[in-house]
């Protein structure tokens, strides 16, 4: 497999701006929800993971889906891909990271860009149930970083047909700084507002349910109201909750770029040069990629956008087509 591949993606003429590519799917797309079945899996620390299944044919391959920051199985890009996979006779199951399923978890633990234990737990659980099934995994944004880090950490200990990572924040520190500049500050403000509200609500939930030990961990993070950047949030919240020295330490340990050389399964990286969540400095060189990793780099596409088509009333969601085609080819 070559490390670089030419992309077939051509942005819609009416969505060539990187911000339009990024915002259009979330603001303008209405994806009919596929028929889902929710399952709750109890974790070893007494908490739970909610996963959403799409498809019932247990003889077909299974694709695990990982959403991005503040996303869930209800995100448009997840539902759109589930429907595309279903058309290609592929089952899928979405991992809602802790706190993202619509219910508060039992502990102070949530999720972050380097948290791979829950993915590993889910994979091991499903692999034990279905030892002969072909598995693949697709991750978006934060979920893509988690996926690539996990693949590099686990190496040959996982049995997968393939993996796809979309709009990956390969170097977290650069991404955090990029979101402090220009129009990208609007994305930062929206994401931080959601994160701070969630943490405050989570603390209240734990207090109401008399889980004062876990509630105290969140309280020790201090006043979140004045936080205005991801550097501040990750330094004050993520580092304290998960045992990192500070935000620098968190970014250094969790950035997925350093793990790409250790990946052992066919993996496709789909990345746009104009992604407003990062700069081109985060994009790995081909020398940093394992031989089984392919980088598909596009000039345009924004962040988890990649919308094509000539007719504004009939946009083409190229990303779903590309992912489905890659997965069916590698099974």
Tens digit of each residue's pLDDT (9 = 90 or more) over 151-184: 999 999 999 999 999 999 999 999 999 999 999 9
pLDDT at 159: 95
**What is the per-residue pLDDT across 90-108, written as a single tens digit (0 to 9) for each?**
999 999 999 999 999 999 9
| Helix 184-208 × helix 212-219 angle, to 10° | 150
66: CB partners within 8 A, 6+ apart: 94, 95, 97, 119, 137, 138, 139, 140, 143, 144, 146, 147
Question: With 90 as the cut, is the pLDDT of residue 79 above it?
Answer: yes
Element (H, E) at 49: strand 48-54
Q: Which residues are catalytic?
A: 141, 275, 303
Please give the average per-residue pLDDT across 41-67, as a whole number: 95
Question: With 90 as the cut, is the pLDDT of residue 66 above it?
Answer: yes
Question: With 60 as the cut, is the pLDDT of residue 2 above it?
Answer: no
**What is the per-residue pLDDT across 223-258, written as a single tens digit (0 to 9) for each?**
999 999 999 999 999 999 999 999 999 999 999 999
Q: Which of 162, 137, 123, 158 is nearest to 331 (CA)?
A: 162
Report how far residue 25's alpha carbon sits from residue 29's, in angstroms, rounded to the nearest whole number. Answer: 5
Residue with tokens 């399923």: 101
How does strand 62-66 pair with strand 91-96? parallel
Domains of the chain: 4-171+255-330 (3.40.50.1820), 172-254 (no CATH)
Please give the average per-residue pLDDT across 21-42, as a whole number: 95
Over the chain, what is the mean pLDDT? 96
Contact between 109 and 241 under an 8 Å Cβ cutoff? The reply is yes
Q: Which residue has the higher pLDDT, 198 or 3?
A: 198
Question: With 80 as the cut, is the pLDDT of residue 40 above it?
Answer: yes
pLDDT at 5: 78
Please give the average per-residue pLDDT across 190-202, as a whole number: 97
């Amino acid at each position: 497999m070559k490390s670089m591949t030419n992309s077939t993606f051509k942005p819609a003429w009416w969505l060539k701006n990187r911000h339009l590519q990024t915002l259009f799917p979330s603001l303008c797309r209405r994806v009919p929800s596929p028929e889902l079945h929710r399952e709750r899996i109890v974790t070893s620390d007494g908490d739970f993971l909610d996963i959403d299944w799409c498809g019932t044919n247990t003889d077909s391959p299974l694709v695990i889906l990982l959403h991005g920051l503040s996303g869930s199985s209800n995100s448009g890009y997840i539902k759109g891909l589930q429907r595309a996979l279903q058309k290609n006779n592929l089952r899928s199951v979405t991992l809602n990271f802790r706190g993202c399923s619509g219910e508060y978890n039992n502990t102070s633990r949530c999720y972050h860009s380097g948290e791979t234990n829950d993915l590993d737990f889910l994979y091991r659980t499903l692999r034990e149930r279905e030892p002969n099934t072909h598995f693949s995994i697709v991750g978006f944004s934060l979920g893509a970083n988690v996926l690539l880090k996990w693949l590099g950490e686990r190496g040959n200990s996982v049995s997968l047909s393939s993996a796809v990572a979309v709009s990956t924040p390969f170097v977290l520190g650069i991404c955090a700084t990029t979101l402090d500049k220009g129009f990208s500050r609007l994305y930062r403000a929206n994401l931080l507002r959601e994160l701070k509200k969630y943490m405050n609500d989570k603390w209240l939930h734990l207090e109401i349910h008399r889980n004062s030990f876990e509630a105290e961990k969140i309280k020790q993070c201090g006043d979140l109201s004045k936080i205005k950047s991801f550097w501040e949030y990750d330094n004050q919240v993520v580092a304290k909750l998960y045992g990192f020295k500070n935000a620098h330490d968190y970014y250094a340990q969790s950035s997925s770029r350093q793990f790409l050389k250790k990946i052992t399964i066919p993996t496709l990286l789909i990345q746009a040069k104009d992604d407003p969540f990062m700069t081109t400095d985060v994009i790995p060189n081909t020398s940093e990629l394992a031989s089984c990793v392919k980088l598909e780099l596009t000039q345009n596409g924004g962040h988890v956008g990649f919308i094509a088509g000539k007719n504004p009333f009939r946009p083409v969601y190229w990303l779903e087509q590309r992912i489905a085609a890659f997965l069916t080819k590698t099974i």
